[in-house]
A and B are shown apart, each in its own frame.
Chain A
Amino acid sequence: MSTEDKANEISAQAQEQASLTPSTDPEQPDPDQGAGGPITLFFILGLVASLVLGWVIFPQLLYSRKQQPIQFNHALHNELVDEGCESCHFFREDGTYSGVPKLAQCIDCHEEVQGESEEEAKFVNEYVLKEREVPWLVYSRQPDCVFFSHVAHVKLGQMECVTCHGHIGESESLKPYEANRISGYSRDIWGKNIAGIKFNSWDRMKMDDCSECHVSNNVNQGSVQTLRGGCFVCHK
């Protein structure tokens, strides 16, 4: 059989099949009229599924949730101290920032159980008496590639704690700590909103948020190393 003959034969078979189709499945729309129905449906299905995956399931998978070792009441403590946040989160003599208080500071008041709070009792029994440091989980810890100086912002820049840390000082309990399973850092750096949308200055602490403030206040926009571009201001 020549090639031409074979081609004719296949073509004939195709015509035969096409003429048979309506009779075998009368519900099926004529393919020549376009496959709009099911194709659109599948497109929408894929779209919706991936939107659900990206917006709802992915954030759930991305972060692990951990409770703080002790439920600390900032509001309660804030009422008892004279110097606000700096009473416990103080600057050392050399200007370095102490960060989260160590046991040594807590012991000043909590050498023994004082109130009726279960959390306090747990704190005293588990940590104070055993002389173990509390493994606090720090929501605002920046990645290691970032150099950040508190004294430059709080003392020299006269910034309020709230600007970056929000109203944690008025909170009565600590929210669960969410760690990014890939980078290991806190969710608060990217922000609670998975789309990265922020409403308050403290909602997000990414590089753009730092530079936004540096640009608007026209501070430290060039690093001493390069004299232009501010990369080395934070990425030493």
Chain B
Amino acid sequence: MKIDRRSFLSFVIGGAAGTALSPLPWKLTDDLSIWSQNWPWTPVPQKGETTYVNSTCTLCPGGCGISVRLVEDRVVKIEGMAGHPVNDGGVCTLGVSAPQLLYGPTRVKTPLKKVNGSWRKISWDAALDEVAAKLNELRSSGQSHALACISDSDRGTVPELLNRFLSVYGSPNFIRTPSILDNYELALYLTQGVRATPGFDIQNSDFVLSFGSGLVEGWESPVYMFRGNSALKEKGGRLDQIESRLSKTAAKSDKWIAVRPGTEGALALGLGNVIIKESLFDQDFVANNTAGLAEYQKLVTDGFSPAVVSKMTGLDAADITALAREFAGARRPLAICGRGAGTSPGSLQDFLAVHILNALVGSINRDGGLVAVPEPEYISWPDVEMDATAAKGMQQARVDGAGRGKYRSTRYLLNRLPEIVNSSQDSPVQVLFVAGANPMYSMADTAAVAQAFDKIPLVVSFSSFMDETAASADLILPDHVFLEGYEDVPFARGLPQPVIGLAQPVVEPLYNTMHTGDAVIQLAQKMGGTVGDAFAWESYAACLEETLADKWDTLLENGYWVDDEFSIAAQPQEFETDSSKFEFSNSDVNALPVYHTVRAAGDDSFYPLLLVPYDTMRLTSGYIGSPPFLVKALEDTVLTGNDVLVEINPATAKKLGLSDRKYATLTTPKGKAKVKIYFFDGIMPGVIAIPRGLGHTAYDKFLAGKGVNYNTLTEPLEDAATGLDAAWGVRAKLSKA
């Protein structure tokens, strides 16, 4: 029998017929379709029991209560806690992204030591021993004040533990990262004599006049401000936004008042001029509860008439007068200050000018106004026993120059540190702790910061993530992420009432990390002597429970504690100043009643444009880097591919010969960057803007290398009165790439 072509074909036809009569093709089709609908590499949440744990978010100083949803032992979602005084069920984009920070690839998983430029894993014991040895060496050579610590807060048990460590060790150099809180604290201290944080009762106001504050862009406690903004709208209240750029807040406001950048404080004084000239102020409050009006009156009458302010701000004089009348005529007016999300302190005189507006209309310590919320007082630990070294070290002047001389009223001046280190032969800081902060990214003029950090022999980072500062540190003692341990959240920024939150462990620590509180306690105990004696706690958790005492059970159960006895209306109208009155003028600092225009750095003939940063809820610019959810949610008017877009008014762009969506080179006195042009009618001609929060070099592939870091392009501008960074922008030029 010969197998020829015909027989082969008939075999194939037979095979085809048989295959069609068998389940093979139909079953394969079905299986392939199921396979392609359920790609095995697509992650699927695990099945299991759902539970919720009440906790507090610590990703920003907002203090939101959160309800963490778990399936078995896996965090799957962060929800806002219903009924919480800050956020009442709401949650922001960063909060919902927290699981990505917990499980993401950028975590530091174990203590690391840098050896010849590369990281080596090291045990906790060895790492702490190493720091203890170095600190003991420094201390025995009488250089205890050469230890400094940068922390994102100075309140709550962890910052207090760090501060206590520095004190008993003998260093006054505890430094808090800067923000508008510095200026608000100072404004409250100078005018009202209190050490307090400002609370803004936006929900009960009927006219909020915002001097550039990003009410829906992360200013103070973001979710509380969202709620405040909504309540304001629902009650028929009014929000006027004073800003040179149509921000999201400006777009949502009832009136957008575009002034030249940097002239917001002048406008506040102009409004004061009209209010005083036309006697629109709260007669009762001003007569009974204030002092020094004459000096303020002289300042605004002489220098800030509507005509003058019109020239400075670019507004119509008639509009300024009308705005002053409307503001003073409102039932519960409230003026707020601090640009964007408030990450940069700004100039004290602006804060005083705006704060004084509130005093003029009597909106201090009353519903719908600004409330001085007392600093929390639940931390009362036994006094430390200071040995001679510690006492001597504490007598030394602070390395950043805060608290003495012309900056005697300022508490912390981190922005001055890089220059001081760079201009000394030997760094005055020999050991630097960095906890909850990423100064290498978030401080202006990053090149100078990097140079200074390079000069410090031992930089110890307590970061949970491989951020810029951690990456350039000598040692990383990684902290838990907030979902892995207990920690108190001592207050919520901008909330007009005292609240304490508690972050609780939601999952067991995933890696070989240690709570910074524990790390400090163990480090002190390793050092022994009076330092060890000051930290007699068994663990941080024990310390926390003991500290919170009678509030602990409430905190465990609810996740927060509020002072029920606190009410805004019951706050005193008598102040703690020498005169017991609200002080309009203050000779203590070189701020109001003297006003200096803060100019942007750079020569305006070479740099014709003004570059200002803006904030968005879809980016973070502090210690926490934006998780992928946020970067993914960025509009293509902010970032396309890896290119940041610079907002420019089409009229300005045309003059410079720039085209929309085309590459350009952005140059400032501090640096250069490749950007893309974005024609935006909402920005003032001559002004350009880029977002804060991009241009990371560290973290993971989802964040690094995208866009430009504004801080690499700018430099700090020392405020004459406080020494804080008063810069609001920098001069720049744009040219075709």
Contact = CB atoms under 8 A, between A and B. Distances in A.
Interface in A37-76: 38-51, 53-55, 58-59, 62
Contacts of B42: 144
Contacts of B50: 94, 96
B140 interface: no
A230 B659 CA distance: 51
Nearest to B19: A50
B22 A43 contact: no
Interface string B28-58: 1011101101101010100101100000000
A50 B35 contact: no
A46 B44 contact: no
B299 to A, nearest CB: 64
Contacts of A48: 14, 18
A82 to B, nearest CB: 23
A51 B18 contact: yes
B51 to A, nearest CB: 10
Interface stretch (B4-12, B322-330, B369-377): B4-12
B40 to A, nearest CB: 6
Contacts of B529: none
B9 to A, nearest CB: 8
A55 B11 contact: no
B21 interface: yes
Interface residues of B, number: 36
Interface in A185-208: 185, 190, 194-196
A10 interface: no
A209 B261 CA distance: 68
B15 interface: yes
B21 A39 contact: no
Given A182-B31, A183-B34, A98 B23 contact: no
A182 B49 contact: no
B2 to A, nearest CB: 8
A194 B22 CA distance: 9
A46 B35 contact: no
Given A54-B19, A62-B27, A44 B14 contact: yes
Nearest to B7: A42
A58 B38 contact: no
Contacts of A62: 27, 31
B14 A42 contact: yes
B15 A49 contact: yes
B17 A47 contact: yes
Nearest to A197: B23
A46 B22 contact: no
A92 B49 contact: yes
Contacts of B26: 196
A145 interface: yes
B82 interface: no
A235 to B, nearest CB: 9
Interface string A129-173: 000000000000001110000000000000000000000000000
Contacts of B1: 38
B13 interface: yes
A143 B24 contact: no
Contact of B16 (A50, A145, A195): A50
Contact of A144 (B14, B22, B38): B38
A40 B47 CA distance: 56
A35 interface: yes
Contacts of B10: 39-40, 42-43, 46
Given A54-B19, A96-B49, A46 B12 contact: yes
Most buried by B among A38, A44, A50, A96: A50
B38 A46 contact: no
A192 to B, nearest CB: 12
Nearest to B14: A46
A70 B626 CA distance: 46
Contact of B38 (A54, A59, A99, A145): A145
A195 B15 contact: no
A49 B6 contact: no
Contacts of A55: 22-23
Contacts of B3: 42
Contacts of B13: 43, 46
Contacts of B40: 184
Contact of B21 (A42, A51, A183): A51
Contact of B15 (A46, A143, A145, A194): A46
Contacts of A59: 23
B38 A45 contact: no
A190 B30 contact: yes
Given A38-B7, A42-B10, A54-B24, A183 B15 contact: no
A223 interface: no
Contacts of B17: 43, 46-47, 50
Nearest to A96: B50
A143 B49 contact: no
A184 to B, nearest CB: 6
B37 A143 contact: yes
A53 B47 contact: no
Interface string A16-50: 00000000000000000001001111111111111
Most buried by A among B3, B26, B27: B27
A78 interface: no
A180 interface: yes
A45 B24 contact: no
A183 B16 CA distance: 25
B14 A45 contact: yes
A45 B23 contact: no
Nearest to B71: A96
Contact of B37 (A38, A54, A94, A145): A145
A39 B13 CA distance: 10
A100 to B, nearest CB: 10
Contacts of A45: 11, 14
Contacts of A183: 31, 34-35, 38
A47 B19 CA distance: 8
Contacts of A35: 6
A204 to B, nearest CB: 12
Contacts of B32: 182
Contacts of B6: 35, 38-39
A175 to B, nearest CB: 20
Nearest to A145: B37
Given A42-B14, A145-B37, A58 B27 contact: yes
Contacts of B18: 46-51, 53-54
B14 A190 contact: no
B432 to A, nearest CB: 43
A51 B2 CA distance: 24
Interface string B184-195: 000000000000
Nearest to A28: B2
A133 to B, nearest CB: 10
B24 A53 contact: yes
B525 to A, nearest CB: 33
A41 to B, nearest CB: 8
B22 A50 contact: yes
B34 A39 contact: no
Given A38-B1, A144-B44, A58 B22 contact: yes
A14 to B, nearest CB: 17
B23 A196 contact: yes
A98 B47 CA distance: 9
Contact of A47 (B15, B24, B47): B15
Most buried by B among A53, A62, A183, A194: A183
Nearest to B21: A51
A143 B38 contact: yes
A47 B11 CA distance: 7
Given A45-B14, A46-B14, A48-B18, A58 B8 contact: no
5 contacts: A58-B24, A144-B38, A180-B31, A180-B34, A182-B34
- List of 4 A-B pairs having minimum Cβ-Cβ separation, nearest first: A54-B22, A46-B14, A50-B18, A46-B15
Given A46-B11, A46-B15, 13 more contacts: A38-B2, A42-B7, A53-B18, A53-B24, A54-B22, A58-B24, A58-B27, A98-B49, A99-B47, A143-B38, A144-B38, A183-B34, A183-B38
